[in-house]
Structure 1
Amino acid sequence: MGGNRIVVYKEPGRVEVEDHDMPKLEVPADVAQAKGMSREAPHAVILKNVSTNICGSDQHMVRGRTTAPPGQTLGHEITGEIIEKGDDVQFLDVGDIVTVPFNIACGRCRNCREGATGICVNVNPARAGSAYGYVDMGGWEGGQADYVMVPFADFNLMKFPDRDQALAKIRDLTMLSDIFPTGYHGAVSAGVTTGMTVYVAGAGPVGLAAAYSAHLLGAAVVIVGDLNKERLEQARSFGCETVDIGQSATLEEQIDQILRTNEVDCAVDAVGFEATGHGGGEEKPAQVLNDIMSITRAGGSLGIPGLYVTGDPGAADPDAKEGTLKVRLGLGWAKSHSFVTGQCPVLRYNRKLMMAILHDKAHIADAVNATVIPLEDAPRGYQEFDRGAARKYVLDPHGMIPAA
Structure 2
Amino acid sequence: MADNRGVVYTGSGGVEVKDIKFPDLILENGPGVPEGNAGRKCEHGVILKIITTNICGSDQHMVRGRTTAPSGLVLGHEITGEVIEAGRDVEFISKGDFVSVPFNVACGRCKMCKRQDTHICTHVNPQQPGGAYGYVDMGGWVGGQSEYVMIPYADFQLLKFPDKDQAMDKILDLTMLSDIFPTGYHGAVSAGVTTGSTVYVAGAGPVGLAAAHSAQLLGAAVVIVGDLKPERLKQAESFGCETINLKKHDNVGEQIEQILGEPVVDSAIDAVGFEAYGHGTDHKEAPATVLNTMMDVVEAGGKMGIPGLYVVEDPGASDKDAQQGSLKVNFGVGWSKAQHFVTGQTPVMKYHRQLMNAILNGKANIAKAVNATVISLDEAPQGYDDFDSGVSKKFVIDPHGML
Alignment TM-score, normalising by the size of structure 2? 0.97
2:86 is matched with which residue? 85
SS at match of 1:343: coil
Contact 2:29 2:39 in 1 (8 A): no
Contact 1:2 1:19 in 2 (8 A): no
Q: What 5-or-longer segments of structure 2 have no aligned partner?
A: none
2:235 is matched with which residue? 234
Q: Structure 1 residue 40: deviation in Å? A: 2.2
* Ranges of 4+ aligned residues in structure 1 off by more than 3 Å: 28-33
Q: Structure 1 residue 372: deviation in Å? A: 0.2
Larger displacement relative to structure 2 (166-175 or 12-21): 12-21
Q: 2:129 aligned with 1:131, yes or no?
A: no
Contact 1:7 1:17 in 2 (8 A): yes
Q: Structure 1 residue 32: deviation in Å? A: 8.9
Of 337, 340, 360, the residue aligned with 1:338 is 340
1:259-278 pair list within 5 angstroms: 259-278=260-279
Residue type at the aligned position of 1:173: L
Q: Structure 1 residue 202: deviation in Å? A: 0.1
1:382 is matched with which residue? 384
Q: What 5-or-longer segments of structure 1 have no aligned partner?
A: none
- Flag the 1:165–1:320 CA change in 2: closer, same or farther, 3 A: same
Residue type at the aligned position of 1:289: L
Contact 1:32 1:38 in 2 (8 A): no
Counterpart Cα distance in 2 of 1:352 and 1:377: 32
Residue type at the aligned position of 2:227: D
SS at match of 2:123: coil
Q: Structure 1 residue 252: deviation in Å? A: 1.1
Counterpart Cα distance in 2 of 1:32 and 1:263: 45
Counterpart Cα distance in 1 of 2:271 and 2:133: 21
1:97-136 pair list within 5 angstroms: 97-136=98-137
Counterpart Cα distance in 2 of 1:54 and 1:276: 22
Q: Structure 1 residue 281: deviation in Å? A: 1.5
Q: Structure 1 residue 27: deviation in Å? A: 2.8
Counterpart Cα distance in 1 of 2:385 and 2:221: 36
Counterpart Cα distance in 2 of 1:33 and 1:379: 30
SS at match of 2:378: helix
Equivalent pairs counted in the alignment come to 400
SS at match of 1:298: strand
1:15 is matched with which residue? 15
SS at match of 1:397: coil
Q: Structure 1 residue 38: deviation in Å? A: 7.4
Q: 2:312 aligned with 1:290, yes or no?
A: no
Q: Root-mean-square deviation (CA), in Å?
A: 1.4
SS at match of 2:248: coil
Counterpart Cα distance in 1 of 2:120 and 2:275: 23
Alignment TM-score, normalising by the size of structure 1? 0.97
Counterpart Cα distance in 1 of 2:139 and 2:261: 48
- Flag the 1:248–1:105 CA change in 2: closer, same or farther, 3 A: closer
Q: 2:334 aligned with 1:329, yes or no?
A: no
Residue type at the aligned position of 1:177: S
Q: Percent identity?
A: 64
- Flag the 1:278–1:98 CA change in 2: closer, same or farther, 3 A: same
**Which string of whole-angstrom CA distances, capped at 9 and with x for unpartnered residues, describes residues 166-223 of structure 1?**
0110000000000000000000000000001000000000000000000000000000
Counterpart Cα distance in 2 of 1:33 and 1:88: 24
Q: 2:42 aligned with 1:45, yes or no?
A: no
Counterpart Cα distance in 2 of 1:217 and 1:297: 19
1:179 is matched with which residue? 180
SS at match of 2:100: strand
